[in-house]
Each structure stands twice: as structure tokens, then as C-alpha cells.
Structure 1
């Protein structure tokens, strides 16, 4: 076992203290957010309804996932290896899952309190600067918590397990990734089912504005923003942080020994200072765009991160690979390790900056692609959908090419050494994540601003100027959400590539422990990594297919849940005609309950597919095809994730462009067309697309964990191939059994559901004319009605 020197132990201890300090800073920022004015009584009532709905959903979700976590805990303990490592890995799995859940809950719990404060800020002078400040500080709390818990968890494991820490951290990363995937899928289904249902019945059928209090799905829509975008994305970025650290520590130990193990922790610790600086300096100056202020904060913090990481490299790392006994295989590499590490981190930082710019270009309200999507609204919804798909496909190519260039850059720095290049790729990912605190702040800005606009519209307490400020902040939030999704995708690819290298190392280590190997025949082909091997190519195809199947399942789940919302909202309008005249109150609580029930019911199918597909391939086809499976999943995953995220972002902001008065504005045929485009894009950008990030990391971590068992059941001459095939068959049955059960449930629901159509008096031929805002009298009635919390 690798022993750490006293200097390294001291450094890791300091890093753990930095993690605790980050949590203290997060607490201080939280108090600053909660000190802001929380608005009028009606605003508070609406916000309270959102808070209660979000808390109830996450509580039920965590209870559902707790049993799953216990089962996985037991399965991890059954994997081969040293007893102490297996116990530590299983416990670390629970810690990682708990941290991921805590980050998600923290992101949600503060966002549902900050939203009303941003809405209240719109009622005062300097609304733009104050609203942006509250939203950024809210994200800053989550960002500092991500950094703090990530450093505390990783440093704690290193202090306890020393040289064996990478093996234990596999469990930590797996727990974080698995919980994040479930929260992403579940939250995404909830939020987009409510959003799509609200738009289809409210905007398209009844012709009432977004967030109109007469729409029974409005509270559920705002709840969904928090459980999907805040809780889900916060957990997603935390697991990216944790998984990248896991990969970097595994490869660092294998490549450079003690120095390679500790240095990734040092780099990410620099991110604590970077995050704090970025959050503090991100301020809107005068009438400048909120997006400009966010860009400035990000680029300044990114530059600072690169500088601090370079200083740390030259202070801590040796001047040559020959100076490290663990780097004997790299003795012929003449480059300075300090310079290579600094440049690798710089690659990650530059990658984040470029992804930010590219994503902003393809989704921003002032950029040509989004303006083009908005312009196509003049010829109907079909051309809006087609143009958005085109933007998504094109942006996926550019973004994937940029990520590939970064990986090639690391490979060139390593002089062709595969092991060293994988470590440098992991360091590039750590460099990218030095800005994770600012990235989380950028992401949280979106749902907080969106909720603030909804609260303002439902309460009727914000004047026209304040409402425009909130609309502008919401548009900025759409872009920042798309940007953070792009950066999260880049992080996922770098982490998956690094984990791919860790998988290779795990297989090599496992093979070294086998004294008697089978030679020739099918078993030899199972160990073949060559892409020209037919069975390895089969693995590539299956990996790519899994990404498509997972995405389809997620979008189908939103479709089914949204259908239930449409039926419920239609029913309320039909059975309670007084809702449209403000004489009756919608039953908001019923829609929240439907979203909660359906999202949790649909959660298991894609989750079981992600967990059991690599098990089926690995035990069924071998470690070579499993490597191909991972490669196919990474390649298809990056393209699919970028396509879904950017096409959805372009559709969303094209709607904002029309609502700002272009091409006829609200109430026009163009507006109706972009509403349809935005509805199509909702499950793209907020459910399926973001969930692919944890998906590819979960599958890589499952492969990493099972690699020794696959080798043990495949290679020895006396290997139990019947048991190996049995495991593969059971895993396949579980994954596809869940899919079949889902399809049977859908068929039963479709057969039982009876919908009597839109509410009486609705004329589909005049939908566009119904999209106008309420009359002054209607608005006055809305303002005089009681808070939305009483409607539940």
C-alpha cells in the first residue's frame, strides 16, 4: 500500500479544513439572502405553496431512494477484494449519496425562499442589480457547499485510507452519481410535466398568460423549477466534482504515486478561493445586462483558478518524473511535470470558457441561431421545431469537437503516453471544476429568476417596469442554465474519459492477480480491446444504443406525466367555469400530487437501465466489449446531451424574443408557434439532456467496480462461465423487465383514461387571439384574490 508522507498528510488536513471553511462561507451567504425583504403577503403565500410542494416532493423521493441505496450498499460489499476496502467503499457510497442528496435539498430549500425576495426586489429602485445579486448569492450558497462537501469527503477518505483511498473513493463517487441521476430524472419529469401541461392547456387552449393564477398547474410548474433545476443540477454538479476527483486520484496514484494522489485535491482546493471571488465580484453595474456581469465574474475567476493551480504545481510537484519512484514507467518523459500539470489545468479552464461562449452563442436571445429560430415562427410551429433541431445538431458538433480538441491537447502534452495523458485529462477536468462554485451560482440564477417572475405575475403586486426587469432576468437565466448544462456535459466527458482509463487500470490489476489464464477461443476475444474485433464493436453499438434508449425513456415519461396534467387542468376548467372569471379557485394541490406520483413512478425504469446495462454487457461479453460499451456511451452521450440541451435552450429563448414584441408579440400566431417549440424543448433541455451527464458516469463507475469480478469469472481456466452468463441474464432481465413493465402500465393507463376535451366555449380556430394578457379588470380581480397557497 502507498504510504503518504507527513507533508502530504498535512496538506490533505488543510484541504479538509478549507472544505469546512467553505461550508461556513455558505452559511454566511445564506443569511445575507434571507435578510432581504420577502415581499407582500400575497407573494409570501404563493412562495409558501411552492416551498411546501418542493419539500414534500423531495421528502417522498428520498424515502423512495433510501431502499435502493441500502440494496446497492449490500451489493458493493459482495464485490471481491480486501474486507476493509469493501466496507470502506460501501460506507463511502452512502456518504456520497447523502452528500449529493444534501446538496440537492439545500439548493431547493434556499431557492424557494430566494425567489420571492427577487420578486420583491423588482418593486424597489435598482431592481435589476438587487434581483441579480440575490439570485447569484443564492447560487453561491450552493456552490460553496458543493466545494466544501466535495473537499471534505475526498480529503476525509484520503486521511483515513491513505494509499487505498482511490479504491474507497470509487464508492463515494458512485453514490454521488447514482443519487444525482435519480434526482435529475425524477426532478426533470416533475418540472417538465407541469410546465408542458400548463402551457398546452393554459397558453394554447385557454389563451391565458404564463403563470396566470387561473391555471391549476402554475404552482406545480414553479415547484418543478426548484426540484429539477435547483436540486437536480446542484446534485449533478456535486457528483461531477466527486467523480472527477475519484478518477484523478486513481490515475494520479498509478502515474505519479504520492504526488499524483494529492495534487488533484490541491487543485480543487484552489476552487474554494476562486468560487468566493467569483461570487463576490459578480454584480450588475447600472443598466448593464445580467449576462454580461455573470460572464465577467466567470472569466475573472477562471483566470484566477489557472494562476493558482500553476503556482500550486510549481510549489508541490517534483521537477522531473525521475524524481518519483512511482513514475518509473515515465522516466523517458523529459518534460517538467510541473509545467505539464499547469498546462493541463489551463486546458480545462480554457475549455470551460470556450463552452460558455459557444453555448451562449447558440442559445442567447441576441445571437443569430436563436434569432433565426424566432424568425421561423412566422411560418408556423413546424418550422420552429425544425430550426431548433437544426441548431441543436449543429451546436453538438462544435461542442463535441472542442471537447475532443481538449482531450487531444492533453494527449500531446503527455508525448503519446496513454497513462500520463489520462492523468492530464483528469487534471484538466479538475481545472474546469475550479470554477464549479461560479457554475452552480450561474445555474441557480435561472430557476430563481423564473420563479420570481411567476410569483410577481400571480400576485399582481409588481408594476410594469418591475415585471420587465424580471422578464429580462428570466431570459438571462435561460441562457445561464444552457451554459451550465454545456459545461456540465464537458465535465462529464472528461470525467468519463478519465474513468475509462481507471477501468483499464482496474482490468490490468485484476489480470495480474490471475495466475492461470485461458488461452484462445471465445475467452480471448472477450479480453480484446481492439475496435476491429466484432464483439468489441458490438459493445460500442450497445453503449450508444443505451444512451438513445435512456433519452427516449425520459422523454416518454414526461409525455405521459404531462398528459395526466393536461387532463386534470382541462377537467378543472370544464367542471369549474368560475375559474376563468376568478370566482372559483383552482385546485393546485391535485396537480402537484399528480406530478409527484408520476415522476416517482417513472423514476425506476431509466435508473435500472443505467445500473444494469453495463453489468449485462460486462458479464455477458467480457471486459473488452465492456470497454467498447463505455466508449459508445461517451461518444453518443456527448452528442445527444448537447443536442438536447441547446435545441431546448434555443426554443425557450426564441419564445422570449417573441414575447418581447417581435413578429407580433404575445397573442400572435408567431407566439403560438414558439410556445409549441418551447413545449417540445422542455423535456429535451431539462429532463433527458441533463440526465445523460450522470448516466455516462454511473455506467463508467459500475464498469470500474465490476471489472475485477468480470475478470475473475472469465479468465481462469476453471472459471465458472455458467455463473457469469447467469449474472448477465439476470441483469438483462432486470433492465428490460423494468422497460416492459413501464410499457404495460402505459397501455393500461391509456385504455382507462377518458378525456372529454377542452373546456366548453373554447374555439381552437381562435387560439392566437386568446393569448393576450388579461384585461385591466381581470388583472385587478387577480390582485384582489387570496394567496395561491389557499388554492392547494
Structure 2
């Protein structure tokens, strides 16, 4: 078997025009983002008290992200030069891959920063609108904020991919590996760091404020409230926006890599056209999100999602039959890969039908996960109601029931994702490359809904912050407060739903990248070995101990990563608890409202801890594939990726849905059920919610970029691993040294993480909590927070 020359992609004529049109649509999406931003900023800002509180949140969020970006710049610089050193066809590709790595990271950071920047300005506008104009205007402001982030995500993702295709043409897939890696790496760091920040502050605020002091969630007397509200923005807005952007970018990368191999020149254009349709339908979804009289806000948002998804499905099918031929014989520039030459009997069927069916599978899967996640985390359905009922018997039963919800829901969600992946794979028939491309196209179908998904997700933290601004200011009427409580409950569910869809996107992207890895490895094996020395696919079968060990290691990394993230939240939350207790004990007049808590100290604690703690999970994600690949070989690395994808899917859904169920069970009790606020049942659900916080907002969502980062790293190092192991460049000594260095760095990072103290406070772990007050004294005047 001889080496296989890459297909030469022709972007002349109509194909070139189509890619330019995609770039123009991307610019149009960015223009829509700017318009939505202006709509939000033109709304009223409310009272001076609201402005002061919102300003404190803005200061804290901006300060955190600036410090985080300075920290991540070091990682980006190192990765830039490492990518230059990795093998590629020529230096132009190496340089382009490294440059677009920085572009991908920069776009991911831009989406996160601009999304957070508008969210911290929208929160007081939502609060003001709820107070003076009613529910519908307030909801409109919140959803328009999310729409800005959604259109920014779609616009930058399409723009980056289309520009790479225009510049590099047939080499675009290799350059896009760098673009996707930059987006995924930065998103993972932002997800982990923002998740640690937000949940450390949230857990600390709840344990001391709600449980020990018996005061409301966003009471200004609690020194952790500003940090909690800042965390909503750096975690749920900046972190989730970056997460969904990198899902968008990485899915496009996988689709374009496989598309050029499966459909030739049209395969490099078609994956750009489908998300472009989604960009147009996302605008329709935003404008369709108009509440009807007396309608629950969640019903309104879900209707907008389903209608926009339906329009996207119809548009994608029509586009497929217009653009793609009805026979594989009509494609140009298709060169079978090594993967196909092993078992190829010829690609069969109607390409237009295969592609349109795959896209529709992705859209239907998104709708199915939306419904499934809503069922397991919504307050109106039995699972959350059952968790709420267990609060009558204490915190232990709340935790047990929430764990059960997470475990069970993970099975059903995985079945839906697995059915979508396998259904798309079967569409390719006898051609493995076409089958894997169909899986990637299912991901592209899901991308058509990303604009509305991001809007739904950002709506959550904006409405949560709006309620916090209103409560801390004391300037909102009872009617306005009730509206904000309703919107907060809606946002809580939309956040849980979008986490489920983000997980599905990650699995589809990772599966497609896994296929790209297999193609790259087999092509490299063909080039590395003499023609008469055939390799065997049996090397990659699961009963090969090398593959099985890789599966176990991949699963283990997911567990270790999750444990590191949750443990980091526990340590940082401990520091917050001690600091808030100290302030209640030492600062006179806090409970009476005459003393000012030191909000800035709590913000500083969680900022330092989150930036320090994000390094170890990041090192693990990047270096674990390096250690396995160079140490055990490409077959073990294949098993490693399979184990990480399978375990990561189940773990991410389990963590997200159990946390969502605990959170909404708390909301259920706070709405007056089972004794309401201040009851023993409420205290039990608060404990459940604090356990669930790092589950659903730190470890769970961070698994999405984790599995994509590991797949991209594996794809980038595949040819080097093969050549060092068996080819003309074989160098076992260097290969083992690289693996041992990677293992040593991971071990050192984990060891250092384990040596950190639980608290950075001067108080010891035995510091007693102040006694909870018998009543809840109302402060004599609103405390004006400053950071």
C-alpha cells in the first residue's frame, strides 16, 4: 500500500463565490450582534442604587477577565511555537496553523469578553424594566443580550473558517486544526477558571448567608454577594460563550477535514453553507421570541427554538439538493484515504440525500436533548418535584435523589446522542470516510441552532444578576420582584438545557475529530512503512490490550479532571466561607445595615484561587494525550480518545443534570413549597444546591472542551507519533523521553495542587461560625457595594 496524495481542492468559479457569500453572511451576523447590543444599551438603567451595584459587578468581572487573559497569554505563546515545531506539508501550513491558533484563541476570548461586557450592563436594565415596564420588556432585554452573544459566536466562527478556506484552499483543513485548537484551549481555561470563580463565591455566599445567617440570597450584608454576581458573568456568560464558540469552531474543523476527503471540492464548501443557513434562521428565532399574554417565559423561548430549528432543517435540505449532486461519480478531486482503502467497496447512494439526512439528524437531536434536559431539570416535572419532596427528610436524601436524577438522565441523554451518531454513521454505507463525514454534518446541523442556544444560555445569568441587583438595591416593587423571580426560574432552566445541547455538540465534534485522527494515523502508517509490510486493523481492535489500556486511561483522565475541578471549588469556597464569617464577626453593624462589608476581599480571594487552580486541569488536558501517544503508541491513543469520549459524555450529563435538579429543587422550595424560605427543607435544598454548583457550572461544562482539546492534540501529534514509532524517523529514545517529561509535568502539577491549603484566610478550619440570628433584621438603608 502506497502513500495517498491529498485531494486538490478547486475553489474557482461558483465554489469561490459561495465561500465569499459565507464570509459576507458572517459579517452580517456580526452587524446583527452590534445592532442587538445597541438595542440593549438604549434601555433605561434604573435607579442610582441599581447603577452603583451594577458598576461594582462590572468592575469585578472586568478585573478578573483581564487577569485571566494575562495568565493565558503565556500558554498561548508556548502553544504557538510548539505548533510551529510540529510536522506539516510545508512551512506555509505550519505558520498559518500557528497564526490561526492565535486567531481561534482570540475569537474565543472576544466572544467571552464582549458577551460578559454586555451582560453586566444588561442586568440592571432588566431589573429596571421589570420594575417600571413589566415582564415582556424585561424578558426582551435579557433575550436580546443573549442574541448579541449568539450572533457574535456564529459570525466569528463562520468568518474564521471561511477566511482560512479562501486563503489556504486544499491545505485549509490542516490550518483549521490550529484554529480549532486555539478556540478549544482558551475555552477550556475560561470554563475551568470562570467555573471555579463563580461556584466558589456562590457556595460560600449560600452556606454563610442563607444557612448560617438566615438572610436572602443577594442580601447586600453578605460580603460574597458581589463576587457571586461577578461569577455569574465570568462563568456562565464569558465561559459558556467561549465554550459554545469553540464547539462551533471545532465542529467546522472536523467537518472540513473530512468533507474534502469525502466530497472533494464541494466537501470543503458545503460544511460552511449549513451553519450560514443557521445564522439566518437564528435571526428569525430571536425575533420570534415574543411572549404571549399570560404565557410562561420558558414556553416562549422554547417555541422560538423549535420554529427556528424547523426553518433551518427545511433550508438545509433545500440547499443540499440544490448544491450537491445525486451521484458520487459527479464529484471532483476525491482521492480515497487509507481508511477507505482498507474496506472500501465504493461510496454509494445519493450524496445530497445523505448530507441532508445527516444535517436533519443533528437538528432533531438538539430538539430531543432540549426536551429531555428540560424534563429532568424543570420545576414543573416529576424529577425535580421528587428531589424537592426529599427535602422534608434532610440534606442527605436531597443529595441522594439528585444523584439518582443525574445518573438516570445521563443514560437517556447518551442514548439520544448515540442514536444520532450511529444513525448518521450508517448513512455513509460502505465508505468509512463518508460515514464519518455524515457524523460531522450532524454536528453542522446542530450548529444551525447555536445562535438561539447561546441566546437561551446567556438569558440565564442576565436574569439571575437582574434579580440580585434588584434585591441588593431595595428599589424594586413587589410586582417587579415577582417578575424577576419568574425570569430567574426560566433562566435557570434554559442554562441547564443549553448545557445538554453543548455536551451533544462536543460529542459529535469529538467523534468526527476521532475519525480525522484515524485517517491521519492510517495515512501516516502507509507512508512510514514499506509497501510490502502491510499493517493490520487488528492492532486497533478493542481486544488488543494496548487499546483497552488506552480506553481505561482516557476514562481515568475524565475522572481526574472532574475531581480536580470540584476540589478546586471546595478549597476556594472554604476560603470564602472563612472570610465572610470573619466579616460578620469583626465588622460592626453589618446585620443592621450600618456597616459596609468588604466585598473586594472576597472578589480577590476567588480571583486568585481560580487563576491558580485552572493550571493543573489545563496541563492534564494538553499533556495526557502526549504521554499516552508517545509512550504507548497510536493504538493506545485511539483507545484513550474512545474512553475519554464515552466516559466524558456520561460524566458531563450526570454532573450537569444532577446539579440542575438540585438548583431547581431549591427554587421550588423558595417558591413556598415544603415550608418555603427559612425552613429546614429550604436549608436541606441549599446544601444540595451547593453540592450541585461545581457539578453543573464547573466540572460538567469543562468536560466539553476537555475531550475536544485532547482529540485536537492527538490529531496534531498523530504523524509525529507514527514516524517516531515505526517510520524512517524512528527514534524510540526520544519518544520515551517526551512521554516521561509529559508524565512528570502532569504528576508535578497534580502534586502541587494537592498540597494547597483549603483556605487562604487567616482563620483556621476550626473557626466557629457566628450564631444564626433569630430573625432577619432588615438593613436600615441599602449598602452601596464597591469592589
CA distance in structure 1 between the aligned counterparts of 2:765 and 2:726, rounded to whole angstroms: 58
- Post-superposition shift, 1:64? 0.5
2:675 to 664, 687, 702: 664
CA deviation digits over 1:436-469, x for unaligned, max 9? 0000000000000000000110001111121111
CA distance in structure 2 between the aligned counterparts of 1:314 and 1:287, rounded to whole angstroms: 42
Change (3 A) 1:665 1:63: same
CA distance in structure 1 between the aligned counterparts of 2:765 and 2:397, rounded to whole angstroms: 29
Query: What does 1:386-405 align with in structure 2 at a 5 Å threshold?
Result: 386-405=400-419
1:340 to 346, 350, 354: 354
- Post-superposition shift, 1:418? 2.1
1:8 to 10, 15, 18: 15
Is contact 2:474-2:782 (8 Å) kept?
A: no
Matched, 1:379 2:393: yes
Is contact 1:313-1:338 (8 Å) kept?
A: yes
Matched, 1:788 2:755: no
Is contact 2:44-2:129 (8 Å) kept?
A: yes
2:627 to 616, 625, 636: 616
2:233 to 209, 220, 226: 226
Corresponding residue number in structure 1 for 2:434: 420
CA deviation digits over 1:395-440, x for unaligned, max 9? 0000000000011211222224322111011001000110100000
Matched, 1:410 2:424: yes
Is contact 2:528-2:728 (8 Å) kept?
A: no
- Post-superposition shift, 1:261? 1.1
Corresponding residue number in structure 2 for 1:641: 652
Q: Secondary structure at the match of 1:210?
A: coil
- Post-superposition shift, 1:699? 0.2
CA deviation digits over 1:244-292, x for unaligned, max 9? 0000000001111101111000001111111100011111112211100
Matched, 1:680 2:694: no
* Unmatched runs of 5 consecutive residues or more in structure 2: 1-7, 337-343
1:460 to 469, 474, 482: 474
Change (3 A) 1:310 1:480: same
Corresponding residue number in structure 2 for 1:446: 460
Query: What does 1:402-551 align with in structure 2 at a 5 Å threshold?
Result: 402-516=416-530, 528-551=539-562
Residue range with higher mean Cα deviation, 580-589 or 606-615: 580-589
Query: What does 1:547-696 align with in structure 2 at a 5 Å threshold?
Result: 547-696=558-707
1:288 to 295, 301, 309: 295
- Post-superposition shift, 1:242? 0.2
Q: Secondary structure at the match of 1:4?
A: coil
CA distance in structure 1 between the aligned counterparts of 2:207 and 2:729, rounded to whole angstroms: 61
Query: What does 1:70-219 align with in structure 2 at a 5 Å threshold?
Result: 70-81=77-88, 82-125=90-133, 127-219=134-226
- Post-superposition shift, 1:606? 0.2
CA distance in structure 1 between the aligned counterparts of 2:135 and 2:320, rounded to whole angstroms: 41
CA distance in structure 2 between the aligned counterparts of 1:411 and 1:756, rounded to whole angstroms: 57
Q: What TM-score results when the alignment is normalised by the length of structure 2?
A: 0.96
CA deviation digits over 1:308-330, x for unaligned, max 9? 11111111111101111444757
2:739 to 710, 722, 728: 728
Is contact 1:527-1:622 (8 Å) kept?
A: no
- Post-superposition shift, 1:785? 3.0
Is contact 2:257-2:516 (8 Å) kept?
A: yes
CA distance in structure 2 between the aligned counterparts of 1:184 and 1:528, rounded to whole angstroms: 36
CA distance in structure 2 between the aligned counterparts of 1:489 and 1:717, rounded to whole angstroms: 40
CA distance in structure 2 between the aligned counterparts of 1:428 and 1:712, rounded to whole angstroms: 33
2:719 to 671, 690, 708: 708
CA distance in structure 2 between the aligned counterparts of 1:718 and 1:664, rounded to whole angstroms: 71
Change (3 A) 1:3 1:454: same
CA deviation digits over 1:129-149, x for unaligned, max 9? 111101110000000011110
Q: Secondary structure at the match of 2:449?
A: helix
Is contact 1:279-1:438 (8 Å) kept?
A: yes
Corresponding residue number in structure 2 for 1:265: 272
Is contact 1:517-1:715 (8 Å) kept?
A: no
- Post-superposition shift, 1:512? 2.8
* Unmatched runs of 5 consecutive residues or more in structure 1: none
Q: Secondary structure at the match of 2:188?
A: helix
CA distance in structure 1 between the aligned counterparts of 2:20 and 2:587, rounded to whole angstroms: 63
Is contact 2:261-2:335 (8 Å) kept?
A: no
Q: What TM-score results when the alignment is normalised by the length of structure 1?
A: 0.95
Matched, 1:365 2:372: no
1:28 to 18, 22, 35: 35
CA distance in structure 2 between the aligned counterparts of 1:544 and 1:753, rounded to whole angstroms: 38
CA distance in structure 1 between the aligned counterparts of 2:406 and 2:73, rounded to whole angstroms: 36
- Post-superposition shift, 1:121? 1.1
Matched, 1:308 2:315: yes
Moved over 6 A (4+): 517-520, 524-527
How many equivalent pairs are there?
A: 772
What's the C-alpha RMSD, in Å, of the aligned pairs? 1.7
Residue range with higher mean Cα deviation, 509-518 or 532-541: 509-518
- Post-superposition shift, 1:516? 3.9
- Post-superposition shift, 1:526? 11
- Post-superposition shift, 1:716? 2.2
- Post-superposition shift, 1:717? 6.2
Is contact 2:377-2:384 (8 Å) kept?
A: yes
CA distance in structure 2 between the aligned counterparts of 1:474 and 1:385, rounded to whole angstroms: 23
CA deviation digits over 1:579-634, x for unaligned, max 9? 11112100001100111000001010000000000000000011111000000000
Corresponding residue number in structure 1 for 2:259: 252
Q: Secondary structure at the match of 1:581?
A: coil
Q: Secondary structure at the match of 1:415?
A: coil
Is contact 1:573-1:759 (8 Å) kept?
A: no
- Post-superposition shift, 1:720? 0.7
Q: Secondary structure at the match of 2:44?
A: coil
Is contact 1:518-1:717 (8 Å) kept?
A: no
- Post-superposition shift, 1:37? 0.6
Matched, 1:754 2:767: no
